[in-house]
Amino acid sequence: MSHYEAPIREPLVLGDKSYHDITEDIAKPIEGAANKNWYIAFYISLAAMLWGFGCIFYTVGTGIGVWGLNKNIGWAWDITNFVWWVGIGHAGTLISAVLLLFRQKWRMAINRSAEAMTIFAVFQAGLFPIIHMGRPWNGYWVLPMPNQFGSLWVNFNSPLLWDVFAISTYLSVSLVFWWTGLLPDFAMIRDRAVKPFQKKIYALLSFGWSGRAKDWQRFEEVSLVLAGLATPLVLSVHTIVSMDFATSINPGWHSTIFPPYFVAGAIFSGFAMVQTLLGIMRKVTNLEDYITRMHIEYMNIVIILTGGIVAVAYATEFFIAWYTGSPYENYTYLSVGAATGPYAWAFWSLIIFNIITPQLLWIKKFRRSFIITFIISIAINIGMWFERFDIIAIVLSKGHLPSTWWRFEPTFVDVGIFVGTIGFFFVLFLLYARTFPVIAQAEVKTILKSSGEFYKKRREQGIPTKPAINLANVAGTSDKSNKE
């Protein structure tokens, strides 16, 4: 990549930072002790998680009947939450893989946390396919394994089976991708650790990374290959999730736009969740110089774009539902029937939270405002939950036969499990924020001199940018040795 950068690009690292400052800033939350607020947040999340686990045990022990499902609406909160969590996970891969392919340097401050979010969100998502089974103890039957039933195998025609492969592949690839990127950062923590136990742990986690030129060369090659593989993977995973619905013959579910539309929605909701998390994290971990206003703005632009794609898809769904001339299409989640029926509140929540509210981000002042960004990101998270709920519950509530029309009311167990997954997610994320380098320091160091505020200013003033510290200590990439 070129070493020249146009002066009109905004700096990505603020302040007069040296390589050492970056290390210090990123290692600080790991090396210091947690404060009171962290413990409060952690215990609240833990309580929610334990409550959720209780609800899960209750469901499995007593039966699915403790949920609000009925014989017509066999999927509601369970699959809504599943799709919602999978969708949230997608932004992580998008940031680390797609933005890498597009050479977006601003991804470097956010990719680590976005990937962590992916993994923790996929954990939550992964719970639902198991716990919504009537007989979860037979869950392993979904795997095509030779067995004693005359080698009875699975039917590969079901999108629910594709889900198994998609989610498990997605989780494993994301995990490997994330961990590979962590190696140089764990090595950095290892090298700084003063407590023997801590040193031992990070020595184990960093797999003996020593940062030689050959290692870096292969590291970059691997990152690029994994990014190239993760991009079609991320598209296919949510595509397969969308096919749970789109392959069916239910009006409102059977729609060919679902694959790209679900993916766009996933990026939309995933970025909203990244905004929610980073909006807080940058403050509490004092990383405001790395996760800057500009990062927030760029993420908001991605939100406008994907939100726009989703809006076009809504319009298409609405239009084609009418264009088909099929009377059944009038009760689908995006139809006049839905807007005026018993679930009108869910329909309008979707429109307001997902389409109308995010349009505020067209205004530059708003998309550069932390507080407005935070509020809108929450609105999108709610809106995207409603999108999935509407697709699933509204469509199932009014099928082909009027004698099967029914409504869905969640029970406290439905709600409890959802709250539990939110708690579980935050338990994992809070632990992560205390033990993992939340910013990829090795990557940020590669852009410090091209995109750091200090260096950019000096270049503008025509002052030569001397190295701030001794070059021998710099862990830089192979192609960025000494040319400026």
Partner 1 sequence: MYQFSGKLKTLSIALIILGALGIAYGFYSAPKTVEEAKEIIAHQTSHGDEHATSHDEVKVDAHKQDAHVAVEAHGAVEAHGEHHDAAHDEHVFHQLQNKPWSALYVALFFFLGISLLVLAFYAIQRVAQAGWSVVLFRVMEAITANLVPTSIIMVFVVIAAVMHWNHMFPWMAEGTVTVGHENYDAIVDGKSWWMNVPGWAIRSIVYLAIWNAYRWFIRRNSIKEDTANDGGKIYKLNYNVSVGFIFLFMITESMMSWDWIMGLDPHWFSTLFGWYVLASLLVSAVTVIAFVTIYLRSKGALPAVNDSHIHDLAKFMFGFSVFWTYLWFSQFMLIWYADIPEETTYFVARFNEYKLPFLAMVGMNFVFPILLLLNSDFKSIPWFVVIGGIVILFGHYVDVFVMIMPATVGAQWSFGIAELGSLLFFLGIFIYATFSAFAKANPIPKGNPFLEESEHFHYYNIEHRGEGSGDHH
Distance CA 394, CA 334 (A): 9
Start-to-end C-alpha separation, the chain: 12
Determine if 372 is a binding residue for partner 1 (CB under 8 A). no
The only residue of 139, 232, 342, 467 in contact with partner 1, by rule CB under 8 A: 232
Q: By CB under 8 A, is residue 259 in contact with partner 1?
A: yes
Check binding of 8 to partner 1 (CB under 8 A).
yes
DSSP secondary structure letter of residue 452: B
* Least distance CB 32 / partner 1 (angstroms): 37
For residue 13, give the DSSP letter.
B
- What is the closest distance, in whole angstroms, from the C-beta atom of residue 101 to partner 1 in the complex? 8
Instruction: Please identify, among the stretches 22-30, 67-75, 321-329, 368-376, the one whose residues bind partner 1 according to the rule CB under 8 A.
Output: 321-329
* Interface stretch with partner 1, choices 169-177, 183-191, 208-216, 234-242 (CB under 8 A): 234-242
How many C-beta neighbours within 10 Å does residue 473 have? 9
Assign residue 211 a region: left if phi > 0, alpha if psi is -120 to 50, beta otherwise?
left
Among 75, 177, 258, 455, binds partner 1 (CB under 8 A): 258
**CA nearest to 127, candidates 172, 69, 86:** 86
Kindly calculate the radius of gyration of the chain based on its CA atoms and give it in whole angstroms.
24
Site for partner 1 in 92-111 (CB under 8 A): 101
Token pair listed for 73: 């609406």
| Residue 401 contacts partner 1 per CB under 8 A | no
Sole window of 76-84, 134-142, 322-330, 377-385 interacting with partner 1 (rule: CB under 8 A): 322-330
Is 1 a binding residue for partner 1 by CB under 8 A? The answer is yes
Q: Looking at the chain, how many residues does it have?
A: 484
> According to CB under 8 A, which one of 80, 223, 255, 357 is a site residue for partner 1?
255
* Cβ 22 vs Cβ 445: under 8 Å: yes
C-alpha distances out from residue 21 to 18, 155, 468, Å: 5, 56, 11
Cross-strand partners of 452: 13
Return the closest-CA partner of residue 230 out of 178, 184, 156, 185: 178
* Residue 252 near partner 1 by CB under 8 A: no
| Piece of the chain touching partner 1 by CB under 8 A; list 238-246, 383-391, 418-426, 452-460 | 238-246
Comparison of 2 and 461: residue with beta carbon closer to partner 1 = 2
Q: Assess contact for 46 and 427: CB atoms under 8 A.
A: yes
Nearer to partner 1, 265 or 416 (CB): 265
Among 323, 400, 431, 471, binds partner 1 (CB under 8 A): 323
CB of 223 to partner 1, least distance (A): 12
Asked whether position 5 contacts partner 1 by CB under 8 A, the answer is yes
Long-range contacts of the stretch 194-203 (C-beta < 8 A, 24+): none
Query: For the purposes of burial, counting CB atoms within 10 Å of the CB of 459, is it exposed (0-12), middle (13-18) or buried (19 or more)?
Result: middle
Judged by the rule CB under 8 A, the positions of this chain that interact with partner 1 are 1-9, 101, 232, 235-236, 239, 243, 246-249, 254-260, 308-309, 312-313, 315-317, 319-320, 322-325, 479, 483
